Amino acid sequence: MILVTGGLGFIGSHTVRALLDAGEGCVLVQRRAADVPAEFAGERVVVERADITDLASLLDAGSRHGITGIVHLAGSMPWPPGADDPVEATRTALGGLLNVLEAARRWGVPRVGVASTIGVYSGVTGEGALSEDLPLPMTSPHLIPRFKKIGELLNEHLAAETGIEVVDYRISGIWGPRDPHGALFFAAPELVRAAAKGTTPDLSTLPGPAHAEDSLDLCYVKDCARAIALLQTAPRLRHRTYNVASGRATSNAEIIAAIKVVVPDARVDLPTGGADRPTWLDTTRLRQDTGYEPAYGTARAVADYLDWFRAGNER
């Protein structure tokens, strides 16, 4: 059984589906009591109430199952930022990551996957795809990549000291069904939602104005989930860090064009004038070690996401 933290969340729920499709059973840990979601009814899925910041409860939840792997997708960072004491919030956040690795050590789990982010590359200069062996700046402009860098360093240390294979997933631009964020970092999810609902996009939550030329390595959540499942179940991995991405830059203009194939009158046009250089991740390692290939190009991803919204879902 694969223990999945954050298994009822956005990326987590899709990863559980991908692991089930790969023949694995899953144990999902949740701070609040929860039933097995209807979509997993009758499958090898168990939901256990446990808080990863409480080692005893985590160990107790896992002790009832034969845990053979861990996929850690719950956020090991003080997010969203709040009024908590910053030192205690940091201690709690990093303690959750350490508890997951301690549980793996006690259970004899050979491989633990941990979610990181494309944000760790912020500040890297140069042209072309971003590869895992690029040197990273010590600073980060945002809390999330800051803690992900810290986590990657801790994972490297503890992997060496414990013998556990700890694999970092540098995840890029995830979007698709169940996305709770909308236009938090990029426009694509809100463009699709607005087209499906017949409204104009609300992009006020973005860090800056959105333009048609703006581009990012957008990875549809179902592709991301399958990549994570492949990294967890691969017989052998040659690296400890993998970019989990589409491996190409997708512009807002491409998203808009795909939307208008399905919804010709969608009011989702954006102004021109974007100046940022395209950013995408090199997925060579992921492809070579797992055989991963994205199944959702822009047109298929947009159509699938539109269907999700049109079925009455809000996110």
The 10s digit of each residue's pLDDT in 207-251 is: 889 999 999 999 999 999 999 999 999 999 999 999 999 999 999
d(CA 44, CA 23): 9
Given the candidates 3.90.25.10, 3.90.1150.10, 3.40.50.300, 3.30.70.1400, the CATH classification of the domain at 174-218+246-280+296-310 is 3.90.25.10
- Tens-digit pLDDT profile for residues 18-51: 999 999 999 999 888 788 998 999 999 999 999 9
Alpha-carbon separation of residue 274 from 129, 172, 183, 253 (angstroms): 19, 20, 17, 11
Domain map (residue ranges) of the chain:
2-171, 174-218+246-280+296-310
DSSP state of 281: B
| CATH fold label, 2-171 | Rossmann fold (3.40.50)
Give residues with Cβ within 8 angstroms of 230, minimum separation 6.
22, 286, 290, 291, 292
Q: 153 or 208: which carries more pLDDT confidence?
A: 153
pLDDT value of residue 24? 97
